[in-house]
């Protein structure tokens, strides 16, 4: 397996929020250089814990580098909660987070990304397509819906959680779900 490198890509430094700096999603980080980070050795915890899924080559061999694809894949899973309006029953569904560049709102339609998400759908996972902390929708692949891609734009989007909060949420969901 070939080790991937960021090279000239630093899309994550623009797309992802950094709570320690009050940097919102979609805004270039003040510490970003042409290549790399001015404070890499002393970067905040949220930056240190985050790593691009494309870099890890976790089933992403057929995908373009994030700056060319206009989205980054978050390696940490998250969850969306579906609520049955009739019964009030809540169900957590694991999602792959995809942070899209707002200048390319249809980047989530990339055939390579859709193929990746469909493979994850066979594991019962959907995707949350994020444009900011609060602007997002859930995308369900055909392997979950049984027929076609479905976008769910309703509901409430909670602000992006810190990596520590996501670790805690995963542990809680696994304890609840078994």
CA distance linking residue 153 with residue 21, whole number of Å = 29
CA distance linking residue 96 with residue 127, whole number of Å = 5
Q: Is residue 171, in this structure, part of any structural domain at all?
A: yes
Q: What is the pLDDT of residue 176?
A: 43
Q: Is residue 131, in this structure, part of any structural domain at all?
A: yes
Domains: count for the chain: 1
**pTM for the predicted model, two decimal places:** 0.81
Q: Is residue 160, in this structure, part of any structural domain at all?
A: yes
DSSP state string for 12-59: HHHHS-BGGGTBPTTS--TTB-SSSBTTGGG--HHHHH---HHHHTSS
Q: Is residue 64, in this structure, part of any structural domain at all?
A: yes
Q: Is residue 27, in this structure, part of any structural domain at all?
A: no
Per-block mean pLDDT, blocks of 10 residues, the chain (178 long) = 77 89 89 82 85 84 93 86 86 90 96 93 89 89 90 70 55 42
Q: Is residue 22, in this structure, part of any structural domain at all?
A: no
Q: What is the pLDDT of residue 173?
A: 42
Q: Is residue 38, in this structure, part of any structural domain at all?
A: no
Q: Is residue 170, in this structure, part of any structural domain at all?
A: yes
Domain that holds residue 63: 52-177
- Output phi, psi for 91, to 5 deg: -130, 125
């Amino acid at each position: 397996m070939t080790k991937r490198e960021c090279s000239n890509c630093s899309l994550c430094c623009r797309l992802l929020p950094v709570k320690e700096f009050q940097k919102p999603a979609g805004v270039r980080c003040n510490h970003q250089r042409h290549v790399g980070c001015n404070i890499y050795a002393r970067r905040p915890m949220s930056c240190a814990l985050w790593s691009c899924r494309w870099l890890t080559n976790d089933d992403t061999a057929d995908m373009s580098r994030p700056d060319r694809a206009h989205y980054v894949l978050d390696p940490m899973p998250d969850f969306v909660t579906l609520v049955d309006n009739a019964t009030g029953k809540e169900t957590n569904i694991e999602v792959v987070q995809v942070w899209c560049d707002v200048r390319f709102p249809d980047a989530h339609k990339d055939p390579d990304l859709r193929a990746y998400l469909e493979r994850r759908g066979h594991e019962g996972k959907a995707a949350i397509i994020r444009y900011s902390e609060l602007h997002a929708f859930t995308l369900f692949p055909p392997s979950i819906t049984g027929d076609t891609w479905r976008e769910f734009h309703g509901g409430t989007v909670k602000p992006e959680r810190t990596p520590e909060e996501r670790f805690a949420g995963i542990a809680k969901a696994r304890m609840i779900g078994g």
